[in-house]
Amino acid sequence: MINITKIEKTYPFLKTIANAAEQLQTEIYIVGGFVRDLLLEREKKEIDFLVIGDGISFAEKLSEKIGGEKISVFRNFGTAHFRYNYFDLEFVGARKESYDKSSRKPVVTNGTFKDDISRRDFTINTLALSLNKKNYGELIDTFGGLADLEQKLLRTPLHPEETFNDDPLRIMRAFRFAAQLNFNVSDEIKSAARAMAERLKIVSQERITDEFLKILASPKPSIGLKLLQETEVMKVIFPEFANLQGVDQRQDFHHKDVFFHTCKVVDNISPNTDNVWLRFAALVHDIAKPQTKRFVENVGWTFHGHEDLGARIMKGIFTRLKLPFHQLEYIRKLVRLHLRPIALAKEEVTDSAVRRFIVEAGEDLHDLITLCRADITSKNMEKVSEYLANYDRVMNRVLEVEEKDKLRAFQSPVRGEEIMQLCNLKPSKKVGEIKTAIENAILDGIIPNTYEDALSYLYKIKDK
């Protein structure tokens, strides 16, 4: 439960805000994610306040009273926002929304506490913490959000078809919260999502993509990906990805289901990187397998060229999903090269093949290897360690070749000109010999690789 005295220790300014609200005679509650995450013991730097009355004018007065940083006002949304004590404080006046079937835009009017709480997306987001004198610190649970938190369950306060019809983005939000919090979604949410998936077409692509990337950024993205797939929402928002599911069987050959394989790869890579674009690369690395799938008699299934085709179709996907174009080249590179390291694991690979790989992968070489390691999804532990050892070998080869190349470019710290001066020599074979002697002394570890050591070594050998 909520212990307000304990909370005030971590957030002492809540009392300040409560006192100010009391003076301004305004009813105010903390709502939404902050209350939810408080109960889940998750850190949060944003706090949403629900003000009964005019949220903007309250925020303006409050900010002046307590000395908040520059206030931003969004009249269209009826919200105001300012920073205070390193927290983002967001204020909204209680509202009532009525939706007209003929238009997507709700009619928004001033509302009561109950009106406002009822138009929220999930019961776990309807919990409110009172900052008012009459019930200071009380947790107000209108829709059984607390029980749902305990059961780790997402439910909508109203019938989900109604909730989703009003704002179809809430379908995405349900699956996003499920992935972020490791929660289940109610069966009613699943069937409403399936029934209303097409409605997502009226939502802006930016909002959809934003939620999709939050799923990908969560600790176990497959939770959200599988919900999207199971409800066929994926078909609407990312058909190429939805298309990865399905296995063909012919003769004795079947191939791994690419959708479930990819889910595993994304889950595998997630503990190793917070870079959502590396996770995105994992998500799309096999995206062109369906188009390149061929059955070869007595050999089985092949997917020749899926890495090149995958890289080629990435631009279209970026355009449609409105992904940031400055990440396109990175994703294309990882998709295109994701099979290369395994080809380099063979014993007889030449230095120049390794060198070409180093140049092509460039600064993304480590990310590529991270992807390749995550791509191992065999259940056979022996195979897994064998494959991992292969990648270790490739990385050792990379280091070896890099080292050799560094040595090839290696030069004595004391240059020819200086040797000629100090030893009183004309340009001649001798100068080269002395220089090589210094270089060998360094390579053999006789002297350290510094100018001073090379110089004193030169004095020592110059008369020999």
Q: Is 160 in the site for ligand ATP (CB under 6 A)?
A: no
Q: Is 169 in the site for ligand ATP (CB under 6 A)?
A: yes
Q: Compute how many other C-beta atoms are within 10 angstroms of the C-beta atom of residue 276.
A: 16
* Least gap, CB of 12 to Mg ion (angstroms): 21
Is 212 buried (19+), middle (13-18) or exposed (0-12) by CB count in 10 A?
buried
| C-beta closer to Mg ion: residue 33 or 157 | 33
Q: What span, in angstroms and rounded, lies between the C-alpha atoms of 381 and 268?
A: 15
| C-beta closer to ligand ATP: residue 118 or 275 | 118
| C-beta closer to ligand ATP: residue 210 or 418 | 210
Candidates 149-157, 163-171, 221-229, 330-338: pick the segment binding ligand ATP (CB under 6 A).
163-171
* Least gap, CB of 168 to Mg ion (angstroms): 20
Q: Is 167 in the site for ligand ATP (CB under 6 A)?
A: yes
| C-beta closer to ligand ATP: residue 17 or 258 | 17
- Tell me which of Mg ion, ligand ATP, none is bound by residue 354, counting a contact when its beta carbon lies within the kind-specific cut-off of 5 to 8 angstroms: none
| C-beta closer to ligand ATP: residue 47 or 354 | 47
* Least gap, CB of 214 to ligand ATP (angstroms): 7
- In one-letter notation, the amino acid at residue 357 is F
Q: What span, in angstroms and rounded, lies between the C-alpha atoms of 124 and 155?
A: 8
Number of residues in contact with ligand ATP, rule: CB under 6 A? 10
* Least gap, CB of 197 to ligand ATP (angstroms): 16
Residue appearing with tokens 């290369």: 340
| 109 three-class SS | strand
* Least gap, CB of 448 to ligand ATP (angstroms): 54
Nearest partner of 251 among 303, 292, 299, judged by Cα: 299
* Least gap, CB of 47 to Mg ion (angstroms): 8
Backbone phi, then psi, for 430, in 5-degree steps? -55, -45
Strand partners, 249: 254
- Tell me which of ligand ATP, Mg ion, none is bound by residue 267, counting a contact when its beta carbon lies within the kind-specific cut-off of 5 to 8 angstroms: none
Q: Is 125 in the site for ligand ATP (CB under 6 A)?
A: yes
Q: Compute how many other C-beta atoms are within 10 angstroms of the C-beta atom of residue 356.
A: 13
- Tell me which of ligand ATP, Mg ion, none is bound by residue 211, counting a contact when its beta carbon lies within the kind-specific cut-off of 5 to 8 angstroms: none
Q: Compute how many other C-beta atoms are within 10 angstroms of the C-beta atom of residue 7.
A: 16
Beta strands 87-93 and 139-140: pairing type?
unpaired
* Least gap, CB of 157 to ligand ATP (angstroms): 9
Nearest partner of 338 among 365, 315, 313, judged by Cα: 365
Candidates 11-19, 139-147, 164-172, 215-223: pick the segment binding ligand ATP (CB under 6 A).
164-172
Applying CB under 6 A, among 14, 18, 29, 32 the residue interacting with ligand ATP is 32
Is 40 buried (19+), middle (13-18) or exposed (0-12) by CB count in 10 A?
middle
Sign of CA dihedral 443, 444, 450, 453: negative
* Least gap, CB of 282 to Mg ion (angstroms): 28
The 3-class secondary structure across 79-104, one letter per residue, is EEEEEECCEEEEEEECEEEECCCCCC
* Least gap, CB of 259 to Mg ion (angstroms): 31
- Tell me which of Mg ion, ligand ATP, none is bound by residue 167, counting a contact when its beta carbon lies within the kind-specific cut-off of 5 to 8 angstroms: ligand ATP
Interface with Mg ion by CB under 5 A: which residues? Answer: 33, 46
Q: What does the block give as tokens for 43?
A: 């850190």
Candidates 117-125, 153-161, 230-238, 420-428: pick the segment binding ligand ATP (CB under 6 A).
117-125
Q: Is 116 in the site for ligand ATP (CB under 6 A)?
A: no
| C-beta closer to ligand ATP: residue 48 or 367 | 48
Q: What does the block give as tokens for 49?
A: 């306040």
- Tell me which of ligand ATP, Mg ion, none is bound by residue 125, counting a contact when its beta carbon lies within the kind-specific cut-off of 5 to 8 angstroms: ligand ATP
- Tell me which of Mg ion, ligand ATP, none is bound by residue 156, counting a contact when its beta carbon lies within the kind-specific cut-off of 5 to 8 angstroms: none
Residue appearing with tokens 């990312």: 238
Q: What share of the chain is helix, strand, coil (3-state, %, to 5)?
A: 60, 10, 30
Applying CB under 6 A, among 38, 81, 94, 120 the residue interacting with ligand ATP is 120
Applying CB under 6 A, among 80, 130, 160, 170 the residue interacting with ligand ATP is 170
Q: Is 307 in the site for ligand ATP (CB under 6 A)?
A: no
- Tell me which of Mg ion, ligand ATP, none is bound by residue 160, counting a contact when its beta carbon lies within the kind-specific cut-off of 5 to 8 angstroms: none
- Tell me which of Mg ion, ligand ATP, none is bound by residue 390, counting a contact when its beta carbon lies within the kind-specific cut-off of 5 to 8 angstroms: none
C-alpha dihedral, 14 to 17 to 22 to 24, nearest 10°: -170
Helices (H), 109-159: 113-118, 145-150
- Tell me which of Mg ion, ligand ATP, none is bound by residue 116, counting a contact when its beta carbon lies within the kind-specific cut-off of 5 to 8 angstroms: none
Which strand (E) or helix (H) includes residue 110? strand 107-110
Nearest partner of 243 among 204, 284, 210, judged by Cα: 284
Strand partners, 50: 29, 92
Residues that bind ligand ATP (CB under 6 A): 32-33, 46, 48, 120-121, 125, 167, 169-170
